[in-house]
Chain A
Amino acid sequence: MAVIEQPATLTAPARPSVWGRIAAVLALLGRSRVAIAGLILVGFWVVLAIFADDCIIRPACWVGGGSDGTVVSTPWLARYSPFEQFRGRNLEGPSADHWLGTDRNGRDLWARIVQGSRIILVLAPISVLIALAIGGTLGLIAGYFGGQIDELLMRVLDALMAFPQILLYLIIIAALGPSAVNVVLAITIAGAPGIARLVRSLTLDIKTRDYVAAAQTRGESPWYIMFVEILPNARGPIIIDAMLRVGYAVFAIGTLGFLGLGLPPPSPDWGSIVNTGRKFIQAGHPWDALWASLSIASLVVGLNLLADGLSEELGRYR
């Protein structure tokens, strides 16, 4: 690659307590108005997702809101079950009963949007975390060992990155069928190479530091050096990147849903809501599509703002 890979900024190796660290991050965020705006947006959805119904205290129904009928949850913030069909209330606009209106099956849109946030806020971070684990490990290995391993890994990852992501999604979902697991799988495979590239470039830089040399002299195993010495010191850029990637993942899950490759109905998957809802725009009922795309947009914007603010603040310590 002729593109110069900028060694990312690194925070100093320090190991304060967990709470101390969280406080430090919050303080950091608090200094940036952009980050605060992002935090509010993301926080809004996180709160809704957590307190949508009483599943938080009944782990049996965490994902899907008890859609298999075995666990019946009591709605809290969602007000209704996302699956309950109100007779004769199909395709209504917003009202006091149904804040955002109802869909073609007479289901409450607010309940569906709120429960949909839970799906997306579970699936997106999970897929990014898995991608992070796989891509991060590959990047560390490539960057730390270098040589032939590096060359081979990077060629394979280049080939994967050469794939437009949407094609990967299409091929994977078309081959395996639409389901939550396959959506996560597709996003993981598509995301891992990018993470590996980033981690590799960070590793190449950190490898030259004194504390790594010191660890090598001590005779630490390469794995110890990679995961204990190098990885924690590369976390800043990785976290910002991951935040952006969660945004992409939300975006991608939405797109899959829109293309009809997302979670099968009646799941309140935002992309699927847009997909089925847009047919009714022409019938004068834009609400499904409107609320669901607003939700996706606001969540992605929030995550982007958060990442932006964070990197700006980190950038000041250059």
Chain B
Amino acid sequence: MSERRDRVHPAVPEAQEQLRQGRISRREFLRVATLLGVSAPAAYVLAACGTPTATAPTAAPAAAAATEAPAAAATAAPAMGAIKRGGTLRVGIQVPAVDHPARFSWVFDSNEFRQVFEYLTETGADNITRPYLLESWEASDDLKTWTLNLRKGIKWSNGDELTSEDVLFNFKEWLAPETKSSILGLWEGFLTIDGVEAKDDYTVVLNLAAPKLDVPETLFHYPAQIMHRSFNGDLTTLSNPSTGPMKLDEFKVGERVKVSKREGYWQNGEDGSPLPYLDAIEYIDLGNDQTAYVAALQGGQIDTIYDPTVDTFLALRNNDKITVEPLPTAQVRLLRMRVDIEPWTDVRVRNALKMCQDRQAILDNAYFGQGDLGQDVHVAPVQPEYAPMDVPAYDPEGAKALLEEAGVTTPLDVSIAVGTGWTDVVTYAESLKELATPAGFNITLDTMPNSSYWDKWAEVPVGITPWTHRPLAVMLLPLAYIADAEGTPVPWNETRWVDQEFTPHPLPDLARHLVRPGQGGVGWGLGVGGWGLCTV
């Protein structure tokens, strides 16, 4: 750990230099610095595969499995400098039913549309967020007023110009509780629709109720695709105006999506001509069984696979035609229990199961050691809030004692819901079953297809949920671990765990903490003990 701590991201001195020259503000520098983890250096464990770094049994960084960029590409990336135009990229990915982007509940819902609809900001592979449809943003010193300056001259595909009216429309959709958007959880307590104000055609001001640091990152939350003000509510229809470099040609649930180049895109490529480089992208659904995708990739019928599992990684790593790009992310496999359901209401029972995890053994089995161990905090080494912590030890005897103390009759029957498509999740549960038996848990696996798991992931008493990457932990924690103003857990609070100190708004303070001048950010490790939520 100490070795990692000394490492400073190469972009940091660069930012420092920029700061010295006055090209960026101090705040900007800190943003870069903290995002790059000066205090909590992201441990770039270069695991191989598109699912590198860590699957952590419990809350820890896991598999990269590219959030927007597919990870295992059959065609090597074109050599830098020589830009080739044209061609069709064929992506093997499931095509789920979607309607409103704000209701996307899974990253791949959004992927088929990323070339068509765009975001106000973009978080890059380096985990730094930059303006996208925005030209810039400014935050007031107290972080309560954010001014978003739209890039001028962006045309929708129907010829309209992108204006603050469009942005306002999207905020209305996101912030209306009826939309049932996960975005709401990120703004809950900070922003209501009354706080969104269009100053002029290209300026939108967000008046927050409390300081918020992660506004730019939140604008890149995957459901936050910007739709035209006339959006008809179903993005699969071909008639919605879009700003992206490509237009939607075909959308067939469970089969395929086709997007192709559109004239008049606002951005130029490195060769000076308008983007996109590609003529078209085809997203091809081959079902929920990844072996079919691997076979298709090996047969050259598709060029890349979305979200390759660790099994797929094993199958492809020795194929010389396939380039595997490792990328550390904050993806995680989260074993969690609902704290409002017996016997998990008792923190001792929760802690007992937590102590039943031989984390290294689980990681070795489920992910062939490719990843980091979970520390029962939903913060990953790549996130600036991360602080190194000890990995809880495997202690079945202690767990047994805790169960006895809690007065639970053993063996305690536990049914863990797992989606069979995530083979590593199944293995995780299988390993846990063996490891927890000596402590008095009798675990059974409630297997279901991934889509069924997604139907009830927040309802099952115990489940293993894959959470995707987010650049900042402060973006994630409010999604899953707080209650709304009435004290009801937010829609994605799958544990139902609610804490007075953590809810409603502990984050502003932390945010302030993070940007305190001179300290370069403070590592933020949520004390697990203080949380009482054991296996988060």
A residues adjacent to B (C-beta < 8 A):
68-70, 83-85, 87-88, 90-91, 104-106, 177-178, 260, 264-266, 276, 278-280, 282-284
B342 to chain A, nearest CB (A): 20
B residues adjacent to A (C-beta < 8 A):
290-291, 294-295, 298, 311-312, 314-316, 318, 361, 364-365, 368, 411, 420, 423, 426-427, 429-431, 433-434, 437-438, 442, 444-447, 449
Whether B445 lies near A264 (C-beta < 8 A) is yes
Chain B residue contacts of A105, Cβ below 8 A: 365, 427, 430-431
If A70-B411, A260-B447, A265-B447 touch, whether A279 touches B295 (CB-CB below 8 Å) is no
A262 to chain B, nearest CB (A): 10
Chain A residue contacts of B365, Cβ below 8 A: 85, 90, 104-106
Chain A residue contacts of B368, Cβ below 8 A: 90
Residue of A69, A85, A178, A276 with most chain B CB atoms under a 10 A cut-off = A69
16 further A-B contacts with Cβ under 8 Å, apart from A105-B431, A260-B447, are A69-B438, A69-B442, A84-B434, A85-B361, A90-B364, A91-B314, A105-B427, A178-B447, A260-B449, A264-B445, A264-B446, A266-B430, A279-B291, A280-B315, A282-B295, A282-B298
Chain A residue contacts of B361, Cβ below 8 A: 85, 87
Chain B residue contacts of A264, Cβ below 8 A: 444-447
Whether A266 lies near B291 (C-beta < 8 A) is no
A68 closest partner in B (C-beta): B442
Determine the distance from Cα of A282 to Cα of B311 in the docked complex, in whole angstroms: 9
B441 closest partner in A (C-beta): A69
Determine the distance from Cα of A279 to Cα of B294 in the docked complex, in whole angstroms: 9
Interface SS, B side: helix
Number of A-B pairs, beta carbon distance below 8 Å: 72
- Can you list 9 A-B pairs, Cβ within 8 angstroms, ordered by A? A85-B431, A104-B311, A105-B365, A106-B365, A260-B447, A264-B447, A276-B423, A280-B315, A282-B315
Whether B449 lies near A266 (C-beta < 8 A) is no
A75 to chain B, nearest CB (A): 15
Whether A266 lies near B423 (C-beta < 8 A) is no
Chain A residue contacts of B312, Cβ below 8 A: 279, 282
A263 to chain B, nearest CB (A): 10
If A68-B411, A265-B447 touch, whether A280 touches B427 (CB-CB below 8 Å) is no
A86 to chain B, nearest CB (A): 10
Residue of A178, A283, A284 with most chain B CB atoms under a 10 A cut-off = A283
Determine the distance from Cα of A278 to Cα of B290 in the docked complex, in whole angstroms: 11
A90 to chain B, nearest CB (A): 7
Per a CB cutoff under 8 Å, which of A88, A265, A278 touches B445? A265
Chain A residue contacts of B316, Cβ below 8 A: 282
Whether B294 lies near A282 (C-beta < 8 A) is yes
